[in-house]
Amino acid sequence: MKTPLANIHEGVELLHDRVVGELNTEQDEIVQIIAGNTTKLYRMIEDLIRYSQMQQVEENLRTQVINMALLVQEVIEEYTDRLRINNIRIKSRLEPVEIRGFPAFLRTMADNLLSNAVKYSPPNSEIQVNLYRKDGMLYFEVLDQGPGIPPEERKRVFDALYLGNMGRKLEIEGTGLGLAIVNESVIMHRGQVEILDSPKGKGAWFRVTLPLNGVFK
């Protein structure tokens, strides 16, 4: 449901931004009506998801002490075939770090960040994955050698249904929800996610910071 909805939303944004030509007043009003209804439909889908999650409260909302190095390594291994096809290498530095949190949401966070890096990485490139702790905080980083994210888009990419200009240009399929889900998972753990300037001058650098000081009792 989310994928076709994201496509509709993207088409409406193209019309609203006048990418395919100017609109008259009546056409602009219709575009705004469609945009409003896609937003309502997205919220309805989210309500359904939340309801479904509430049916599994004990499984999804029970905190555990999680070995993050093991969790991240398991996620990396799931991408072995896709990486091999495009000759993309993963260079990982995973320090042993444990954190109390929600396993399903932390796995989704790591999976979506790695999936994003794989989608935008050109053949014969490298993805760097770092996990370490410092000053009572967990740091999880994913760096790729793709086109990167312009500074003016770095806040918007965490909005639901937002598809960046580069994704459109490269015709990369997506729902516009992956990074929004990453952000929600991080907020759930009282942390933050940010996009930094790549140390190599190109590519995207995502950094997740989560507290290790026992915010969950």
For residue 210, pLDDT beyond 90: yes
Q: Tell whether the model's pLDDT for residue 132 goes beyond 60.
A: yes
Domains plus CATH for the chain? Answer: 2-54 (no CATH), 64-211 (3.30.565.10)
Looking at residues 19-23, what average pLDDT do you find?
85
- DSSP assignment, residue 151? G
Q: Answer yes or no: is pLDDT of 170 > 50.
A: no
Q: What residues have CB less than 8 Å from 59, skipping those under 6 apart? A: 104
Residue pair 83/90 in contact (Cβ under 8 Å)? The answer is yes
CA pair distance 194, 178, nearest whole angstrom: 14
Q: Residues 107-123: pLDDT tens digits?
A: 989 999 999 899 889 99
Measured between alpha carbons, how far is 38 from 161 in angstroms, rounded to an integer?
A: 10
Most trustworthy range by pLDDT among 46-50, 112-116, 198-202: 112-116
Q: How far apart are CA 199 and CA 123, in angstroms?
A: 20
Nearest to 147 by CA among 88, 87, 202: 202
Question: Which residues 6+ apart lie within 8 Å of 156 measured at CB?
Answer: 162, 164
Query: What band does 140 get if pLDDT is binned at 50, 70 and 90?
Result: very high
**pLDDT band at residue 171 under the 50/70/90 scheme:** very low
Of 3-7, 103-107, 112-116, the least confident: 3-7
Query: Given a cut of 70, is residue 167 above it in pLDDT?
Result: no
User: Whole-angstrom Cα distance, residue 6 to residue 103?
Assistant: 27
- Which residue reads 């312009």 in tokens? 150
Q: Say if CB 157 and CB 211 are below 8 A apart.
A: no
Q: Which of 62-76, 124-138, 155-169, 193-207 has the lowest mean pLDDT?
A: 155-169
Q: How many CA atoms lie less than 13 Å away from 188 in the CB half-sphere?
A: 19
